[in-house]
Each structure stands twice: as structure tokens, then as C-alpha cells.
Amino acid sequence: VKKFSALLVGAGEMGKNWANNLRDCEQVKTIGWMDIRPDIAAQAIEEKKLTGVAAYDDLAKALAESRPDFVVDVTNPQSHHDVTLAALAAGVPVLGEKPMADSMERARAMVRASEKSGKLYMVSQSRRYHAGAIAFAKLIRDHVAPLGILNSDFYVGAHFTGFRAEMKSVLLLDMAIHTFDSARQFSGRDAVSVYCEEFRPDWSWNRGKDSAVALFEMTGGLRYDYRGSWCAEGLPTSWEAEWRAHGPGASATWDGENPPVAARVKSSSELIHDSEKFSGEIPKHHFGGIAGSLREFLRALETGELPQGECHDNIKSLAMVFAAVESAESGRRIKIHN
């Protein structure tokens, strides 16, 4: 197997998960870890008991000295643009955390930088690799498509600290990017327009508007209806959200945890037609989450194949987020451009 050297950027909570993920992949050798806060990378290297990993607090120096085969960007969203541009300008491919950027202008600049350098920039949209999500997408493709109706519910009560506690559109920007991206994964469609309301129930402990409903028109006339909240306690949904999809004569549901279920009409004699239920197949021996996105990224480096999350595709999910925010702020339905 071909080995790749990695420079990890960002040593926060998720950066530490990525350090484990890189360590556990036989194709990767982590050679450097960089964080803008002095000593943080060195402390993380010690905490993880890593050997052969150099600590940096300067990205230009880290890139020049370690000369990695790729960079993993696990900084906070506001820094993704600068880290990605610096790596691409040095000719180094980037696997970056979601959301791609904190504005569409900066995301577009990142896509252009990938084109200019001719190097891969892929966003690790980790929920795409969930075994149940893969099974649900296949169930829809094989038995339910073309979809006309798609609904998702995301209700989780989260008591945040750190950058999320300060974020204005914390549900839409930090979390709904996953759910909106899943809607594209499951339907195979892109968004055309959105009407969204963001709100804050009066019991919420969050400062910003942490709840939202959004109605997307997708290509082919599909309507995707999103509902979500970060201050919903007691009966939470899974972090993958709860899903319902309808196509001609068939539908599918997934609770985000158990195998997805579909049903197809078999007889047509009554007012309500009889249908037959069946389950989706959960893939076995499967790398889920960030282990899955890392493998897809490495395969793309080896073969030149276009991975899921490649920036030209992922920006279409980010565009759904910023259009939803714009609709909520303006009270208008917003057309979606990438």
C-alpha cells in the first residue's frame, strides 16, 4: 500500500479525533501537528503519546519543513479559508472539516484556489459514510426514486461551550450543513430555492436563534422539508436526523439508528393500496464517519477519482445553508446559486 504523510492543522476536540483517525489508518503517517495557539499542538502530541510528529504554531513553517503529502484542516470554520489557501498555494491537497467556510465568497475563493493549484480540496462530510445513511440512499435509489417528497427532523438539546456558544446561526451553519448535505446524498438532487424561518423558543439557553424550519425546492420538483432545534430535550432524534422519503408507489423511512425501511404498493383494489415492507441492507466491514472520508480522500489521491465532498460538489450543500440564513433574515424565498 502507498503511504501518505499528513500535516494535521487544529488541535481542538475534533483535531484530537482526527489524530486518532490518522494513527489508525495504515496508509498514513502523521509528521506534523500545527495549532495557532502556542504550545497547544505540543501538548496534544504529548497527550496522545505520538512519536515522530513535529509541533508547530506557524503554518508556513509547518508546510515548508514537513512537506506533507496532504493537510487535514480541523480548525474552526472561520479559519478554513486561510489554512486551505495556504496549503493549496504550497501545492498540497487538503482534506478539510465541514463547513467549508463561513461565507459563500470565501468558499468560492477556496474552490478557485483548488482549480488554480490543480490539487484536490475535499470537505470531510462525515455523515455521508454512516452505514445506515449509505443503506438509506441505496434503498431510495433502488426502490423509491424519483422522489417528490423528502422530510427530515433533527431535535437534539446541546449545551455548548467554545465557538458554538457564540455562533449566531449555530443550528444552520454548524449542524444543518450535515443534514442538508444528506438530503442531497439521499435524493440525488440539488437545491433550487429555500424559504426558512429561524427562531428561539423562550426556554432556550442558547443566545442565538437555535431552531429552524426550512422548505427547499430541489431539482425535478422535489420538496425537501427540514425541521430542527438545538434546545429540544427529552425525546431527541438521532444526530443523523429522522427521515421520510416518498416516490411513485413507494416510500422509505430512516430513524438515523436502525436499518432503514421501505414499502412498495403491491395491489391497487382499495382506497388505500396494500403495500409490502422491506429493509435496507447495512454495509458490513465498513469505515464510517471520518474514517470513511479519510479512505475516500486517499483513494482519490491514488486514482484521481472524484470523491464525495470534492469542493465543487460540497459547495452546493453550503449554498443551502447560506440561502436558508438569508431567507430567515429577509423573510423572502431565496434562489440558490453555488
Q: Out of 28, 34, 194, 241, which residue is the one contacting ligand NAD (CB under 6 A)?
A: 34
Nearer to ligand NAD by Cβ, of 143 and 316: the residue is: 316
| Residue 19 binding ligand NAD, by CB under 6 A | no
- Per CB under 6 A, the list member of 6, 74, 214, 232 interacting with ligand NAD is 74
Cβ(223)–Cβ(217) under 8 Å? yes
Shortest distance, position 257 Cβ to ligand NAD, whole Å: 16
Interface with ligand NAD by CB under 6 A: which range of 71-79, 112-120, 263-271, 277-285? 71-79
Pick the stretch among 32-40, 188-196, 211-219, 250-258 that binds ligand NAD (CB under 6 A).
Answer: 32-40
22 scored as a contact of ligand NAD (CB under 6 A): no
Q: How far is CA 91 from CA 6, 54, 78, 167, 213, in A?
A: 14, 20, 22, 32, 41
Neighbours of 46 (CB within 10 A): 10
Q: Given the rule CB under 6 A, which of 29-37, 148-156, 276-284, 303-311 is the region that contacts ligand NAD? A: 29-37
H or E element in which residue 104 lies: helix 104-117
Query: Which of 6, 7, 8, 10 touches ligand NAD (CB under 6 A)?
Result: 10
The distance of closest approach from Cβ of residue 58 to ligand NAD in the complex, given in angstroms and rounded to an integer, is 9
Binds ligand NAD by CB under 6 A, chosen from 32, 68, 77, 247? 77
Nearer to ligand NAD, 246 or 295 (CB): 295
83 lies in the binding site for ligand NAD (CB under 6 A) = yes
CB of 45 to ligand NAD, least distance (A): 13
Q: Could you say whether residue 68 binds ligand NAD (CB under 6 A)?
A: no
Q: Does 171 bind ligand NAD (CB under 6 A)?
A: no
Of the two residues 12 and 220, which places its CB atom closer to ligand NAD in the complex? 12
Buried b (16+ CB within 10 A) or exposed e, 206-219: bebbbbbbbbbbbe
Q: What angle do CA 254, 212, 232 make, to 5 degrees?
A: 70
Q: What one-character DSSP code corresponds to residue 175? A: I
Task: Provide the grid cell at 130.
Answer: 454512516
Contact between 110 and ligand NAD by CB under 6 A: the answer reads: no
**174 lies in the site for ligand NAD, by CB under 6 A:** yes
Task: List, in sequence order, every beta strand (DSSP E) within the chain.
Answer: 4-9, 28-34, 54-56, 70-73, 94-97, 121-124, 149-155, 191-199, 211-218, 223-229, 242-247, 250-254, 261-265, 275-279, 334-335
How many residues appear in the chain? 338
Torsion angle of the four alpha carbons 4, 8, 14, 16, in this order, in degrees rounded to the nearest 10: 90
Residue from 37, 116, 299, 333 in contact with ligand NAD (CB under 6 A): 37
Measured CA angle at 326 (ends 157, 127), to 5 deg: 45
Helices 176-187 and 131-139, interaxial angle, to 10°?
A: 40
Least distance from C-beta 313 to ligand NAD, angstroms? 17
User: What nine digits make up the cell of 298?
Assistant: 486517499
The DSSP secondary-structure symbol of 305 reads P
Residue 97 within binding range of ligand NAD, rule CB under 6 A: yes
Total chain residues near ligand NAD (CB under 6 A): 26
Other C-beta atoms lying within 10 Å of the C-beta of residue 3: 11
Nearest distance from residue 61's CB to ligand NAD, in Å?
12
Instruction: Answer yes or no whether residue 314 interacts with ligand NAD by CB under 6 A.
Output: no
The site for ligand NAD (CB under 6 A) is made up of 9-15, 34-37, 40, 59, 74-77, 79, 82-83, 97-98, 126, 162-163, 174
